[in-house]
Chains A and B, each alone.
Chain A
């Protein structure tokens, strides 16, 4: 499964919504109920899915899905 699809699967699980379609420009404003609590759950889910760890700053700094994907690529995820 591609990185994009794996990431999308995490979003589906966290938001309990299989209809979510991610784009690089997707932000929290585009997904209902993506608040700070959901964001933390999302970040934990991504760490688990990809076997990586975010730094403290990274928990809050991604402004869109594209930034998030780039960070995963930089951490060696494919």
Chain B
């Protein structure tokens, strides 16, 4: 392995790839959109990662790409320094993988044949870009073997050339026409099949060694061959054409993200008693715009509790929670950083002014996360997550204690069943949840007038778990939300300093 090769993406790299390829999938550039996915922030285009990896080849440029295979194993993010482990780098072959700590993020295998040096096959005056402006939004039920998607395509050639120079791939035997073919693959998955909901997983492509240079009109044909509804996986055969002739054939695999369903108020009604057991009470919910938090806010509303919920950036989602609140309890959204003591204090004072006091604090907010191995390259991110996770509960707790004590109220923190049975991939998530639980154990001994409840839900269907395997076995958040509302309506004080709730009907 050649040591010491790294790569790092900036947002400007994503912008350049988007402009060059026409792949305008919002997962790669729209922060609000990405926040509603398990990834939490925009993801680097997989093919950009592969191209940049290819650009680390030192075997020279007098060759033509004949085949390429890529596996996109874990999302790449901007601002992180990845390491490139090069296993093979010869005139004929390049094999490398991009790693984050110990974890392989993507791997690339490319084969080449020699070609005589010549001027770039791309004529400087080429046609304008030809592609969709908005991605298709195909769902699994739209996909079936034999139902192909086809169309014309042309990248933005000048931007593509700039991309080749920036990634170094122009010096590695990938000429502009071939870079256009790779860009087209990203475009096909991210914009056409399946489009917006896509997660690009793998691709294998064979290129015709006698293919012409760039400048010809490009067309693609992508036909699903297998569609697996169990894990939302589609395998498709692709053909790329330049003018009348096919220039490349291959196979790609992508996953299709489902929508996370909105709060099922009818399900909450079924699980909650008819009489609002929390009438006349008030609550502050930290992290209430989506998922379990939104379900808790609606469960409290059905139970007669007036609540204010905190959210930081998901404005549309927060608006929706307020708009669809079932009542009779009122729901107000408060935008801000729950880890800011001043901001929290302001929210609590406002609740006390309006409602005469504060009865409940529910701490649900959690930063998004992906799998991480413990490694010097990842430890800062792990610690940042743990710190952020803890402060999103600890700061609101500190701000609310006095008001809660006046009413002999309760703090409920949302931990996780994984705190008791940690998965190997999530050191940061588990450490964050255990830190919150440990903090609450101590605060409960300092502040006896307030009841403390730690809830450890099992895996739930939320934005955080909305991945191909993540949703398997996940339960509806309404189950937990109703259980929390019923527990709060039950005036029974915990027997010890902290009550643990880890079983649910």
* B201 nearest CB neighbor, chain A only: A37
How far does the alpha carbon of A56 sit from the alpha carbon of B71 in the complex, in Å?
22
Decide if B230 touches A35 in the complex (CB within 8 Å).
no
Query: A70 within 8 Å of B by Cβ?
Result: no
- Would you give 28 A-B contacts (Cβ < 8 Å), ordered by A? A27-B424, A28-B424, A29-B424, A35-B73, A35-B74, A35-B103, A35-B104, A35-B371, A36-B467, A36-B468, A37-B71, A37-B73, A37-B201, A39-B469, A40-B231, A40-B233, A56-B231, A57-B472, A57-B473, A58-B472, A59-B230, A59-B469, A59-B472, A60-B469, A60-B470, A60-B472, A61-B472, A61-B473
Complex formed: what's the CA distance from A39 to B233 in Å?
14
Query: Does A78 count as interface, using CB distance less than 8 angstroms?
Result: no
Which A residues are within 8 Å of any B CB, using their own CB? 27-29, 33, 35-37, 39-40, 54-61
Chain A interface helix/strand/loop/mixed: helix
Give chain B residues whose Cβ lies under 8 Å from the Cβ of A54: 230
Q: Which residue of A lies closest to B232 (CB)?
A: A56
Contact flag A36-B424 (CB < 8 Å), given A56-B231, A59-B230: no
- Which residue on chain A has the smallest CB distance to residue B74? A35
Instruction: Give Cα A36 to B202, complex, Å.
Output: 13
B230 cross-chain contacts in A, Cβ below 8 A = 54-56, 59
* A74–B233 alpha-carbon span in the complex (Å): 26
For the complex formed, measure the closest distance between the CB of B149 and the CB atoms of chain A, giving whole angstroms: 23
| CB-defined contacts of A40 to chain B, threshold 8 Å | 231, 233, 468-469
Extra pairs beyond A36-B467, A40-B231, A57-B472 (15, CB < 8 Å): A28-B424, A29-B424, A33-B104, A35-B104, A35-B371, A36-B468, A37-B73, A55-B230, A56-B230, A56-B472, A59-B230, A59-B231, A60-B473, A61-B472, A61-B473
Q: Which residues does chain B contribute within 8 Å of A39, judged by CB atoms? A: 469
Set of chain A residues within 8 Å of B468, measured between Cβ atoms: 36, 40
- Chain B residues lying within 8 Å of A60, measured Cβ to Cβ, are 469-470, 472-473
Complex formed: what's the CA distance from A28 to B426 in Å? Answer: 13
- B interface residues, Cβ below 8 angstroms from A: 71, 73-74, 103-104, 201-202, 230-231, 233, 371, 424, 467-470, 472-473
Q: Residue on A with the closest CB to B255? A: A40
Cα A61 to Cα B472 with chains together (Å): 8
Contacting B469 at CB < 8 Å: which of A27, A33, A36, A55? A36
What 9 A-B pairs have minimum CB-CB distances, sorted nearest first? A60-B472, A56-B230, A60-B469, A29-B424, A57-B473, A57-B472, A37-B73, A35-B73, A59-B231
A38 to B331, CA, bound (A): 45
Which residue among B71, B73, B233, B469 has the maximum number of chain A CB atoms within 10 Å of its CB? Answer: B469
- Kindly list chain B residues whose C-beta atoms are within 8 Å of the C-beta of A37: 71, 73, 201-202
Q: How many Å lie between the Cα of A56 and that of B468 in the bound state?
A: 10
Which of chain A's residues have a CB closer than 8 A to the CB of B424? 27-29
CB-CB under 8 A from A28, the residues of chain B are: 424
Using CB atoms, name the residue of chain B closest to A54. B230
Question: Contacts of A58 on B, CB cut-off 8 Å?
Answer: 472
Question: Which of B202, B467, B470, B473 has the most C-beta atoms of chain A within 10 angstroms of its own C-beta?
Answer: B473
Q: When chains A and B are docked, how far (Å) is the Cα of A56 from the Cα of B73?
A: 20
In the bound assembly, the distance between CA atoms of A43 and B130 in angstroms comes to 39
Closest to A28 in B: B424
Q: Which residues of A contact B231 (CB under 8 A)?
A: 40, 56, 59
Residues in A with CB closer than 8 Å to B73 are 35-37
CB distance from A25 to the nearest CB of B (A): 13
Bound state CA distance, A39 and B371, in angstroms? 14
CA distance A59 to B230 in the complex (A): 8
